[in-house]
Amino acid sequence: MTDNQTNAKRNRSAEWDDFADELAEPGKLLQASFSGPRDKSSDIARKITVRPIKLKNGVHFQFESRLNNKAYHDNVPAERLKDRLNAVMSQYKQALFKTPEADVQVLANKKGALSLLARKPTAKAAEAPLTHNRNKSYVIPDGEPVPFLIALGVMTAEGKVVKAKYDKFRQINRFLEMVSDVLPELPRDKELTIVDFGCGKSYLTFALYHLLAVKEQLPVRIIGLDLKEDVIVACAKLADQLQWDKLSFAVGDISQYEGLSSVDMVVTLHACDTATDAALLKALGWNASVILSVPCCQHELFRQVSQPILKPLLKHGILKERFASLVTDAVRANLLETAGYRVQLLEFIDMEHTPKNILIRAVKQRQADNSEVLDDYINFREFLGISPYMEKLLR
């Protein structure tokens, strides 16, 4: 390395060092984001964002990262900001810092040397909220009138969410976030066909149609299926009022439904006990690209689980019930994996405002070697002495 190169490297290092010091000054750092992780492993967030927040003990800087659809926050006091920025910058290839004077892009080369490039500022101090509890950015925002939500009593005509319905509003948006994540997995060369088994009052069925047909402008046909005729009649009436001619409803049983030969997405929320398995089996039979399932009332394996080593747990009814419920969802997830799906288990808030439960999200893979998954599943099944309904019908 020449003397000029050495001096240039030192100058860049000093420039970053000075800049990092300045960022801790009041009102200096408005927003920041780190991207391009050097390590591609799954435990490194693809992006980290930073913003100032006001806490009881003064202004801190909140570092937010997302891993496996969960957000993680760490509030760092101003005196520790520089150390944290140095630590995070060492893990990423680039960062963007927004200050009142300039937007500063920081780039790291392969050896970790940093270069800074300043541009005109794009953020103002007023755009940097200091409140700890920000309004969440929803797929369907509060304050924007949405006809189906108004008709269902979730919103007023002005677009304000009804206070008593806010939990439902949050649940609808949570569901749409999960759907939005897998939209790239759906085919785009044809009209999409989606079936919602056990649709009930169809808050989420209408929300799904709104997202795909109205917001995304995708060609889609959605069918809601439920056993309650009065509910189906009411849903069909609302779909007609909204003039959503590609959203239809029918009375029918999941296991006996034969109305379609091919389906792209299957949704089944709160189908009781083995009705969830029946819906998953239908989805597998259709080779659906995406499956979204929130199981309910998992009773089947409660009567089957038997393992002397687990007696300290299983002898307590309430613990056995919860354990059997988790085992049931583990069985479903693993069987979907053996059928060639990539499976995630995510937290989901149901319509009755009960504690968070599990949503199974499965995406069809083009190629997958699932022999190890199958071996692990068989060992798991034999250890617990169970014979699941879903596996028996898959044979």
Over the stretch 37-60, which tens digit does the pLDDT of each residue have? 888 776 788 899 999 988 877 889
pLDDT grade for 298, boundaries at 50, 70 and 90: confident
What's the mean pLDDT when you consider all of the chain? Answer: 86
Percent with pLDDT over 70 in the chain: 90
- pLDDT at res. 235: 95
Q: Could you tell me the domains of the chain?
A: 3-127 (no CATH), 162-394 (3.40.50.150)
CB 57 within 8 A of CB 115: no
Q: What are phi and psi of 246, to 5 degrees?
A: -100, 10
pLDDT at 196 over 70: yes
Q: Which of 96-100, 161-165, 249-253, 272-276 has the lowest mean pLDDT?
A: 272-276
Q: Which residues contact 379 (CB under 8 A, 6 or more apart)?
A: none
Count of C-beta atoms within a 10 Å radius of residue 192: 21
CA distance from start to end of the chain: 67
Query: How many Å apart are CA 47 and CA 134, to the nearest integer?
Result: 19
Answering whether pTM is above 0.75, one says no
> 150 or 369: whose pLDDT is higher?
150
* Total residue count of the chain as it appears in this document: 395
pLDDT at 111: 83
Encode pLDDT of 351-370 as tens digits: 444 444 788 999 998 776 77
Cα separation, 191 vs 198, whole angstroms: 23
pLDDT reported for residue 10: 45
Of the two residues 373 and 4, the one the predictor is more confident about is 373
Q: What tens digit of pLDDT does each residue of 239-255 get?
A: 999 999 999 999 988 87
Q: How far apart are CA 192 and CA 190, in angstroms?
A: 6
3-state secondary structure of 94: strand
pLDDT at 108 over 60: yes
pLDDT band at 19 (very low <50, low <70, confident <90, very high): very high
